Chains A and B, each alone.
Chain A
Amino acid sequence: MGVAGVTLALAALFLLTKTVQRSDDFDRLQDIILAINIAGGVILILILIGNLWRLLRDYRENVPGAKLKARMVGMFVGLAVLPLIVVFYFSIQFINRGIDSWFNVQVEEGLDNALMLSRAAIEFRKRQNLVATTQVAQKLLTVPDRQLVFELSMLRRESGASEMTLYGVNNRLLATSSDNAANSFPKPLTEEIALLMQQDRPFVSLEPLGDGRAEIRTAVAFTYRGNRAREQRTVQAHFPLDERLGNMIDSVENSYSEYQQLVFFREDLKDLLTLTLGFVLLLSLLAAIYGAFVLSRRLVAPIQDLVAGTRAVAMGNFDTRLPTPSRDEIGFLISSFNDMTQRLATARREATLSQALVEAERTNLEVILARLSTGVLALESDLRIRTANQASGSILGVNLENRTGESLRDVAKDNGLLEQFVDVALVHLDAGETEWREQIVLRGEVGRRVLSCACTTLPGDEDNAAGYVIVFDDITALLQAQRDAAWGEVARRLAHEIKNPLTPIQLSAERMRRKYLGTMDEEEAQVLDRATHTIVQQVEAMKEMVNAFSDYARAPDMDFSRFDLDKLAHEIVDLYRAQENDLEIILTSDPTMPLIEGDRGRVRQIFHNLIRNAVEALEGTPNGRIDVQIAVAEINEIEFVQIRVMDNGPGFETGTMSQVFDPYVTTKPKGTGLGLAIVKKLVEEHVGSIHAKNQSDGGAMISIRLPLNEEAREKMIARGPGRADKRREQA
């Protein structure tokens, strides 16, 4: 649009230049030229107002590049306006002085004098001719009408007039004479002459005829005194001036007139040229200002693009690409910016890809860590928990996965096992050990727990560690299994090595008794009898002990079947109720409970051993009471049969709590130390769990969980970190 305005203005100026040379074109086109000029000017002014308004708005709103643009516009306008104004000023001065130089006081005076001189000369001729005409009038005062033509012709020739006419009343033509025979119709008297004649005033005038010709016209009124009545008559005469004089008159008049015209139009010419120059200046100024806006916009546009691009990059949009405007420095800058954003975008894509890979690895690692039965605990250098897997929480008895970011010391305050764990770990960490291994024994309410612990330090900057990774495994069950295996081996060897010589010893003792008892005197016979009896009794006792060992070591195949546990429990409890009259044995069970799937004989032995263990523990305890509770429960979608046997006896000694299921650990005077060990073994053969603890109000409690069926047993095998050792053991 701005280009249209400038084009219109230029076109108008061009048309103006062309049309002023031809009057017809100017008349025809002046309205169009005016319209184009006004339209071009108005368009330019509107555009400039719009541009200025936008610039001010951008400036106030701190739009990037607005201040630079304003400065550039001001600079360009200044650069354009100052020379234009200087040129305009000096042009006006030049025009004014140039036009003034056309005029000269001496020339003007010369022309005035020439005119005055000419007038004086003409006045002389006019007076001569008027006198001649007056004389003709005097001679015609009494000339009869019939002689008028003749007399007038004669008088005309005498006076030197080219034409002479006599008018009567009401300007009636009476006679005329002319040296031009063709001119038979003289002009009537003009109103001016007629008026003067009525006033009886003579008329004389220089009459230009054009083409360098001129004449002096005279008219004189007189009163005719002929034979008729008197009447007013007028004689009009034309006295020609010779051609040379006519040309001189024309020359003087034309020169004077032209000079006077120049003088008259001098200021107008100045005004016109000033106006034209001013109009051109105005259009040039508008065009220059518009050009300043366009130029500034073009120069600032790449910078604005750069600012916008930089902001976009700052916002994280690395896909920003700017159009390269040119091959100059700004173009190079934009090209460099595009290269930079492209590289940033590539780097970000690679970083995102790497991050995704890391995330994938991390997810995999988390899955692996979650599935690991080994506890993994990653710590920051200040012992804040970075990450911990599920197994670590299970082993240490606190959910560490949800405590990420917290200090391990703070978390440990609420948990006894973890506190012991942290105490041991801090000993090594405070000592600055980068790698250490230790078997840690934690003591808890349900017994001791043995952890195999290894720690390594994550490399950091210089001497500072980035963190620690502690890997630990609950090897309590493993150690227990190893111990059980060792005891089983001992039992087997005992059974094998001890049981075999016992029978010959017993038989030998009985044979000695039979053979020599009768041959000895009474006193020796009594000694032999007591000795052999003691041998036989002790051998029997040893046999029982060896058989018990044999039973512990023996591991016949499991014979799974479905049976009613409630009924079985009632049978066993009723048996003990019959035997132990001084004890109160309470069985709490659900008759409608589903059938359990297990080895009926082993389960029976479990009940026997537990109740016998309780009975033996209550020996000597007044008001002994045994509670047997059987219930079906579902924990973590696994159906269990939970068996609890509780007594109100002295309970377990605190020091042996963690070893109650080991062979030969007993607090009872008559205990063999194998009862609970065998129970534990039978329970574990059912993939169950067993716990022992002292009740808060005294007495011991053995708690057993047996899977209800095969499905539950498989789930138990599949789950639980505590079961991993069992799986390994079974394998």
Chain B
Amino acid sequence: MSRSTPINNISPLRRLSIALFVVLVLGTGLAQDDIEREGYFEVRSASTEQQGGVHTLDARLQLVLSSEALAALESGVTLTIEIQLQVIRVKRFLIDAVDAELAVRYELEYRPLSQRYIVKNLNSGDQDTFATLYSALNSLGRVQGLPVIDDALLLPDRSYRLRLRAMLNTQQYPAPLRLLFFWRGQWQLQSEWFEWSLER
């Protein structure tokens, strides 16, 4: 398992738009409280292991919700947390190619009646309930033995690297809300890419 420098994936355009938004928000009195918790997603560690010709992923993620996301969750809003994985073929002289992509989506939901947090794997349909948010996020942040790719699908004499990130996905929300979330940093929860070489 290896670690490398995370890559900043926030585009300059989005930074500019966020700056413009801040100006607009200040102008219209919609400024947010800066003392609220920002929240962050971070990939602490990640590694792959080949088992029976299939590369499986073990990873530890630190998922800290922002105040606004937390409040939304407590209000019954379902949060979707997505773990993205890319298998990248390293090219010597050309731009590297993404040979495979994997996205695992989890829904995190709070049920007011049972007062329990539900974590549901949208890919497999499995779900678990937790009494606390901490235990729910801790469960979400622990990835074990997730099959990534069959080694037979990879070119034998080429080297590959993988990268992993987690993000708060807002696609399931109504468009007006998504437009609003687009401008708000509290809803822009996304870890930086975590990269490592694939050991074969």
Q: Which single residue of chain A is at the shortest CB-CB distance from B184?
A: A268
- Chain A 454-470: CB-based contact to B (< 8 A → 1; otherwise 0): 00000000000000000
Q: Which single residue of chain A is at the shortest CB-CB distance from B27?
A: A278
Question: Could you tell me if A260 and B180 are in contact, using CB atoms closer than 8 angstroms?
Answer: no
A115 at the interface (CB under 8 A from B): yes
For the complex, what is the distance from the CA of A464 to the CA of B112, rounded to whole Å? 119
With both chains docked as a complex, state the minimum distance between the C-beta of B186 and any C-beta of chain A, in angstroms: 11
Question: Could you tell me if A115 and B13 are in contact, using CB atoms closer than 8 angstroms?
Answer: no
A530 at the interface (CB under 8 A from B): no
With both chains docked as a complex, state the minimum distance between the C-beta of A151 and any C-beta of chain B, in angstroms: 29
- Chain A 163-204: CB-based contact to B (< 8 A → 1; otherwise 0): 000000000000000000000000000111000000000000
For the complex, what is the distance from the CA of A613 to the CA of B30, rounded to whole Å? 135
Given contacts A192-B135, A269-B176, A274-B28, A264 and B116 within 8 Å (CB-CB): no
Question: Could you tell me if A256 and B76 are in contact, using CB atoms closer than 8 angstroms?
Answer: yes
With both chains docked as a complex, state the minimum distance between the C-beta of B13 and any C-beta of chain A, in angstroms: 6
Residues of A close to B135: CB separation below 8 A: 191-192
Q: Give the contact stretch, choosing among A29-37, A334-342, A385-393.
A: A29-37
Sorted from nearest, which 3 A-B pairs have the closest CB atoms?
A257-B76, A20-B175, A264-B75
Q: Which of B28, B71, B112, B113 contacts A275 (CB 8 A)?
A: B28
Question: Could you tell me if B175 and A253 are in contact, using CB atoms closer than 8 angstroms?
Answer: no
For the complex, what is the distance from the CA of A118 to the CA of B111, rounded to whole Å? 12
For the complex, what is the distance from the CA of A232 to the CA of B4, rounded to whole Å? 46
List CB contacts (< 8 Å) of A1-40 with chain B: 16, 19-23, 26-27, 30-31, 34-35, 38
With both chains docked as a complex, state the minimum distance between the C-beta of B187 and any C-beta of chain A, in angstroms: 10
B101 at the interface (CB under 8 A from A): no
A524 at the interface (CB under 8 A from B): no
Question: Could you tell me if A272 and B180 are in contact, using CB atoms closer than 8 angstroms?
Answer: yes
Q: Which single residue of chain A is at the shortest CB-CB distance from B115?
A: A119
Residues of A close to B76: CB separation below 8 A: 253, 256-258, 260-261, 264
Question: Could you tell me if A253 and B75 are in contact, using CB atoms closer than 8 angstroms?
Answer: no
For the complex, what is the distance from the CA of A279 to the CA of B21, rounded to whole Å? 10
Q: Which single residue of chain B is at the shortest CB-CB distance from A112?
A: B112
Q: Which of A23, A257, A269, A273 contacts B175 (CB 8 A)?
A: A23
Q: Which of A19, A20, A31, A119 contacts B14 (CB 8 A)?
A: A31
Q: Which of A20, A206, A258, A265 contacts B114 (CB 8 A)?
A: A206
A320 at the interface (CB under 8 A from B): no
Given contacts A38-B16, A271-B30, A253 and B112 within 8 Å (CB-CB): yes
For the complex, what is the distance from the CA of A226 to the CA of B111, rounded to whole Å? 41
Question: Could you tell me if A23 and B171 are in contact, using CB atoms closer than 8 angstroms?
Answer: yes
Question: Could you tell me if B28 and A278 are in contact, using CB atoms closer than 8 angstroms?
Answer: yes
Interface of A is mostly: helix
A665 at the interface (CB under 8 A from B): no
Question: Could you tell me if B30 and A264 are in contact, using CB atoms closer than 8 angstroms?
Answer: no
Question: Could you tell me if B175 and A275 are in contact, using CB atoms closer than 8 angstroms?
Answer: no
With both chains docked as a complex, state the minimum distance between the C-beta of A554 and any C-beta of chain B, in angstroms: 128
B161 at the interface (CB under 8 A from A): no
Question: Which of B11, B112, B182: most chain A Cβ within 10 A?
Answer: B112
Question: Which of B75, B115, B177: most chain A Cβ within 10 A?
Answer: B75
Q: Which of B16, B113, B172, B177 contacts A118 (CB 8 A)?
A: B113
Q: List 13 A-B contacts (CB under 8 A).
A: A26-B178, A38-B16, A115-B113, A192-B131, A207-B114, A249-B113, A253-B112, A260-B112, A263-B75, A265-B177, A269-B176, A271-B30, A271-B180
Residues of B close to A263: CB separation below 8 A: 75
Q: Which single residue of chain B is at the shortest CB-CB distance from A207?
A: B129
For the complex, what is the distance from the CA of A263 to the CA of B72, rounded to whole Å? 10
Residues of B close to A269: CB separation below 8 A: 176-177
B77 at the interface (CB under 8 A from A): yes
A122 at the interface (CB under 8 A from B): yes
Residues of B close to A273: CB separation below 8 A: 176
A252 at the interface (CB under 8 A from B): yes
Beyond the given pairs A21-B175, A257-B75, A263-B75, 15 more chain A to chain B contacts, judged by CB atoms under 8 angstroms and listed by A's residue number, are A19-B175, A20-B175, A23-B172, A115-B113, A205-B116, A206-B116, A214-B114, A253-B76, A257-B112, A258-B76, A264-B75, A265-B177, A274-B28, A275-B25, A275-B30
Given contacts A191-B135, A278-B24, A31 and B75 within 8 Å (CB-CB): no
A contacts, CB < 8 Å to B: 16, 19-23, 26-27, 30-31, 34-35, 38, 115, 118-119, 122, 190-192, 205-208, 210, 214, 249, 252-253, 256-258, 260-261, 263-265, 268-269, 271-276, 278-279
Q: Which single residue of chain B is at the shortest CB-CB distance from A30?
A: B182
Q: Which of A22, A34, A122, A278 contacts B113 (CB 8 A)?
A: A122
B198 at the interface (CB under 8 A from A): no
Q: Which of B20, B75, B180, B182 contacts A261 (CB 8 A)?
A: B75
Residues of B close to A214: CB separation below 8 A: 114
B199 at the interface (CB under 8 A from A): no
Question: Could you tell me if B24 and A190 are in contact, using CB atoms closer than 8 angstroms?
Answer: no
B128 at the interface (CB under 8 A from A): yes
For the complex, what is the distance from the CA of A271 to the CA of B182, rounded to whole Å? 13
Q: Which single residue of chain A is at the shortest CB-CB distance from B132?
A: A192
Question: Could you tell me if B71 and A119 are in contact, using CB atoms closer than 8 angstroms?
Answer: no
With both chains docked as a complex, state the minimum distance between the C-beta of A276 and any C-beta of chain B, in angstroms: 8
Question: Could you tell me if B111 and A253 are in contact, using CB atoms closer than 8 angstroms?
Answer: yes
Q: Which single residue of chain A is at the shortest CB-CB distance from B112?
A: A256
B40 at the interface (CB under 8 A from A): no
Q: Which of B14, B71, B130, B171 contacts A192 (CB 8 A)?
A: B130
Residues of A close to B166: CB separation below 8 A: none
Residues of B close to A264: CB separation below 8 A: 71-72, 75-77
With both chains docked as a complex, state the minimum distance between the C-beta of A531 and any C-beta of chain B, in angstroms: 155
Q: Which single residue of chain B is at the shortest CB-CB distance from A270?
A: B30
With both chains docked as a complex, state the minimum distance between the C-beta of A80 and any C-beta of chain B, in angstroms: 20
B118 at the interface (CB under 8 A from A): yes
Question: Could you tell me if A253 and B77 are in contact, using CB atoms closer than 8 angstroms?
Answer: no
B179 at the interface (CB under 8 A from A): yes
Residues of A close to B51: CB separation below 8 A: none
Given contacts A31-B11, A260-B75, A272 and B171 within 8 Å (CB-CB): no
Residues of B close to A257: CB separation below 8 A: 75-77, 112
